[in-house]
Amino acid sequence: MMTKFLGPCLLFAGLCLLAGAGVGVADWAACLRGHGGAACRAPRSEAMAALSGAANVALGVALQERTP
Protein backbone atom coordinates (compact mmCIF):
# COMPACT_ATOMS: atom_id res chain seq x y z
CA MET A 1 0.00 0.00 0.00
CA MET A 2 2.82 2.43 0.77
CA THR A 3 4.51 1.69 -2.55
CA LYS A 4 2.07 3.90 -4.44
CA PHE A 5 3.23 6.88 -2.34
CA LEU A 6 6.93 6.06 -2.62
CA GLY A 7 7.54 7.83 -5.94
CA PRO A 8 5.81 11.09 -5.04
CA CYS A 9 7.42 11.13 -1.58
CA LEU A 10 10.89 10.62 -3.05
CA LEU A 11 10.23 13.31 -5.65
CA PHE A 12 9.09 15.74 -2.95
CA ALA A 13 12.12 14.94 -0.78
CA GLY A 14 14.43 15.39 -3.75
CA LEU A 15 12.92 18.74 -4.63
CA CYS A 16 13.22 19.91 -1.03
CA LEU A 17 16.87 18.87 -0.88
CA LEU A 18 17.56 20.52 -4.22
CA ALA A 19 15.89 23.74 -3.11
CA GLY A 20 17.79 23.75 0.19
CA ALA A 21 21.08 23.16 -1.57
CA GLY A 22 20.24 25.85 -4.12
CA VAL A 23 19.57 28.42 -1.44
CA GLY A 24 22.83 27.58 0.31
CA VAL A 25 24.85 27.79 -2.89
CA ALA A 26 23.16 31.08 -3.89
CA ASP A 27 23.93 32.57 -0.46
CA TRP A 28 27.55 31.48 -0.79
CA ALA A 29 27.83 32.93 -4.31
CA ALA A 30 26.31 36.24 -3.15
CA CYS A 31 28.78 36.37 -0.28
CA LEU A 32 31.71 35.75 -2.61
CA ARG A 33 30.60 38.61 -4.86
CA GLY A 34 29.98 40.98 -1.97
CA HIS A 35 32.60 40.26 0.68
CA GLY A 36 34.80 37.33 -0.17
CA GLY A 37 37.44 35.87 2.08
CA ALA A 38 36.79 34.65 5.61
CA ALA A 39 33.30 36.18 5.79
CA CYS A 40 32.06 33.48 3.42
CA ARG A 41 33.06 30.49 5.52
CA ALA A 42 29.65 30.06 7.19
CA PRO A 43 27.64 30.21 3.92
CA ARG A 44 30.18 27.87 2.32
CA SER A 45 29.85 25.29 5.08
CA GLU A 46 26.05 25.51 4.96
CA ALA A 47 26.10 24.98 1.18
CA MET A 48 28.46 22.03 1.50
CA ALA A 49 26.32 20.47 4.23
CA ALA A 50 23.20 20.82 2.08
CA LEU A 51 24.93 19.30 -0.96
CA SER A 52 26.38 16.47 1.12
CA GLY A 53 22.98 15.73 2.59
CA ALA A 54 21.40 15.64 -0.84
CA ALA A 55 24.12 13.31 -2.10
CA ASN A 56 23.71 10.99 0.88
CA VAL A 57 19.97 10.75 0.40
CA ALA A 58 20.40 10.10 -3.33
CA LEU A 59 22.90 7.33 -2.60
CA GLY A 60 20.62 5.86 0.03
CA VAL A 61 17.70 5.76 -2.38
CA ALA A 62 19.82 4.38 -5.22
CA LEU A 63 21.41 1.65 -3.14
CA GLN A 64 18.49 0.53 -1.01
CA GLU A 65 17.61 -3.14 -1.10
CA ARG A 66 14.39 -4.17 -2.73
CA THR A 67 12.43 -6.58 -0.56
CA PRO A 68 9.53 -8.55 -1.98
**Mean pLDDT within 55-67:** 71
pTM, whole model, 2 decimals?
0.60
pLDDT digits (tens, 9 = 90+) for 11-50: 777 787 788 788 878 888 888 888 777 777 887 788 788 7
Q: How far is it, in rounded angstroms, from Cα 34 to Cα 40?
A: 9
Question: Which pLDDT does position 66 carry in this prediction?
Answer: 63
